[in-house]
Each structure stands twice: as C-alpha cells, then as structure tokens.
Homo-oligomer: A and B are copies of this chain.
Amino acid sequence: MKIDPKSPADLSAQIAAAIRDAIVEGRLIVDQRLPSEAELSEQFEVSRPTVREALKRLAAQSLIRTQRGATGGAFVNRLSFPDAYAQQITTSTLLLSMNAVSFETACEARYALERACAPLSATRRSADHLATMRAEIHRQAQPGLTDEAFCASDVAFHRALVDGAGNPVLSYQLAGAVEAMQPLMNMITFTARDRARIVALHKDIADAAEARDGTGVTNGLSALEAETQSLAQAVFAARAAAQAPRTAD
C-alpha cells in the first residue's frame, strides 16, 4: 500500500483510499486488526494526526471500528445490514432533498421498486408480516393521528410488505426508497377523506397478501401510486394557486 506525496489530494484521503481498496479487494479481511496508528504513520511516512483523519474517514463509512485499550486498535468491520440500511437512508434522503427531484419522479421510482417485491412477498410473507400490515392499517384509521404519525405508519406498513419477501438484500435496497420518501410525503397534508382512500387501498393490498395473490398486491401498489400522484398534484396545484392568485386576473 503506497501513496503519492506529490498528489494534489489530501494525504489523509489517499491513505483512506488505499486502506479502503485493501478491504474491498479482500487483502484485509473482516475483524482483522490494522497496524496501530503509530505503525501506519511510519509506513505511510506521515504524522499520526494525518493517519487518524484517514481512519476517521473509514469509520464514517462503517468500514472500520476502533477499540481503545491494550489490545485495541482499528479493526475491519463487518458491514451489517442495519448499518447499510442507515447509510442507504441517509444518502437517499439527502439525494432527494438536495437535487430538486420532483415528487413524481421519486414516487414513480419508489412504487416501481416496491412492485418488484410484491410477487415474492405474496408468496413468502409470514403471519407476522401480515399482522404488522393489519395493525398499521388499523392505526392509520384512527381519527386523532397526526400527519407525521400517519406517514410513519405508512412507512411501517410498506416495510412489512417489503420484508415479507424474505430477501435481506431486497430489504436493504428498498430501505432508501421507502424511508427517504417520508419527508416528501410529510409535505402533503392528508384530509380525512384522503386518508380513508389510502387506508382502503392498504386493505386491498393486505387482502391480496393474505390470499398470496402476487398480482393483486402488484395491482394494489399501482393503484396506491396513482392515488398518491393525483393527491400530490392536487396539493401542489392548490399551493401554486394560493401563492400566485393574481395570475388569474
């Protein structure tokens, strides 16, 4: 592992990249201990703070973990599914909020991906997954629920549907799509009538899942997508009209 001291990039970035490559390429394996900071600073011919900055970069990506004490040090971390979920959600949320992605585009992507899980979930979902879906539908029908709580319950419903597919890789991929939509969904204010329609569609999906009817779940998701899109359009149109009422003169 070598670095180029004349490169324009930060030394810490170069060192982090060198170690990251070693991990990705399998030269450093899970739970293996890296050399101590002092040894790394000798090896790369840089100071200890520079090495530390490099290690913090890797720690931020959950690639390593550090442990203090006599037998401590930096260890190659097994990237767990929950860690990966969290990164996925953060990245997706920022991507949507920072790039002026239209609600339409995000919504389309989200439902397209979720439909990918529908046939698998209908076949494999456990009684537990179905019970979670039913419980969330029940919660969503309660009158006093805040918009935020309604959206959170919506996310939980869809999570159960996705997890029902029994494929952790799929669940990981969908985490970003489903959870990152929540801030966008929160922007829509749900009236009682809107909620009732959504709950009814959720019930259709749960019924199809109970009957192990993959096509039914897929169609239910499509209907929900259409409902969500038209709802969002109505809200955005109303907002535009309220903000610029003079254009009608």
A197 at the interface (CB under 8 A from B): no
Question: For residue A63, which residues in chain B have a CB less than 8 angstroms away from its CB?
Answer: 94
Number of copies of this protein chain within its complex: 2
> In the complex the two chains form, what is the Cα distance from A49 to B84 in whole Å?
28
Question: For residue A116, which residues in chain B have a CB less than 8 angstroms away from its CB?
Answer: 112-113, 115-116
A26 at the interface (CB under 8 A from B): yes
Question: For residue A78, which residues in chain B have a CB less than 8 angstroms away from its CB?
Answer: 98-99
List 29 A-B pairs, Cβ < 8 Å.
A13-B59, A16-B60, A20-B90, A24-B90, A30-B98, A49-B52, A54-B56, A56-B60, A61-B90, A61-B91, A78-B98, A79-B91, A79-B94, A79-B95, A79-B98, A80-B99, A81-B99, A84-B95, A87-B87, A88-B88, A92-B172, A92-B173, A101-B168, A105-B168, A108-B167, A108-B169, A113-B113, A116-B116, A173-B173
